[in-house]
Amino acid sequence: MKPRASSEAVRRSMQSNRPRDTRLEREFRSALHRSGLRFRKNLRPLAGLRCEPDVVFTKLRLAIFIDGCWWHGCPIHGSQPVRNHDWWVAKLQTTKDRDARNDRALGDAGWQVLRFWEHEPLDKAVVAVLQEVLRLRGGNLNQASEEGAHD
């Protein structure tokens, strides 16, 4: 049985780490879009793998995740509540294991994976994505743009 959030901080953290389309993810995608990048979202790169990166460059086979500090166990902000401790430890470990499994599956299929913590500055993440796109395109950032869909 799912325990109730044991404190206001935990409750807020849980609410702010919904699995998709958090404010941060929208801001991140907007920033990438302003940088001229075109990409997809809410797309499963691999058939049969329940994994939807926050941003997907299908042609480049580049998958990008913004990981919530709480759910994904950020080394700085990840914490394990005292109440219902064992339940939370198992729950958070499940998330970490799934992340690792997804990274491996994507890597095995020839995809590059970039992960950012939600606490990382947005512009730093955008620069890292631009650098990776540049690298994968062999140095040409202005190559014919990726497929058009964007929120």
Provide, rounded to whole angstroms, the least separation between the CB of residue 75 and Zn ion: 8
3-state helix, strand, coil in the chain (%, to 5): 40, 10, 50
Can you tell me the distance from the alpha carbon of 50 to that of 98, in angstroms, rounded to the nearest whole number?
Answer: 10
Which one of 5, 31, 43, 74 is in contact with Zn ion (CB under 5 A)? Answer: 74
Closer to Zn ion by CB, 111 or 117: give it: 117
Separation in Å, CA 117 to CA 103, 139, 142: 15, 26, 27
Distance CA 113, CA 106 (A): 7
Binding span for Zn ion by CB under 5 A among 1-9, 37-45, 60-68, 76-84: 76-84
Interface with Zn ion, residue 117, by CB under 5 A: yes
Closest distance to Zn ion from the beta carbon of 76 (Å):
4
Are 35 and 27 within 8 A, CB to CB? no
Q: Going along the chain, which residue ranges are E strands?
A: 55-57, 62-67, 112-117
Span near Zn ion by CB under 5 A; candidates 14-22, 73-81, 125-133, 134-142? 73-81
Q: Is 69 in the site for Zn ion (CB under 5 A)?
A: yes
DSSP-based three-state secondary structure for 116: strand
Is residue 76 at the binding interface for Zn ion, with CB under 5 A as the rule? yes
Choices 38-46, 80-88, 89-97, 109-117 (CB under 5 A): range interacting with Zn ion: 109-117
Q: Report the candidate in 139, 138, 136, 142 with the shortest Cα–Cα distance to residue 58.
A: 136
With CB under 5 A as the contact rule, which of the stretches 21-29, 31-39, 64-72, 105-113 interacts with Zn ion? Answer: 64-72
Q: Applying CB under 5 A, which residues contact Zn ion?
A: 69, 74, 76-77, 117, 119
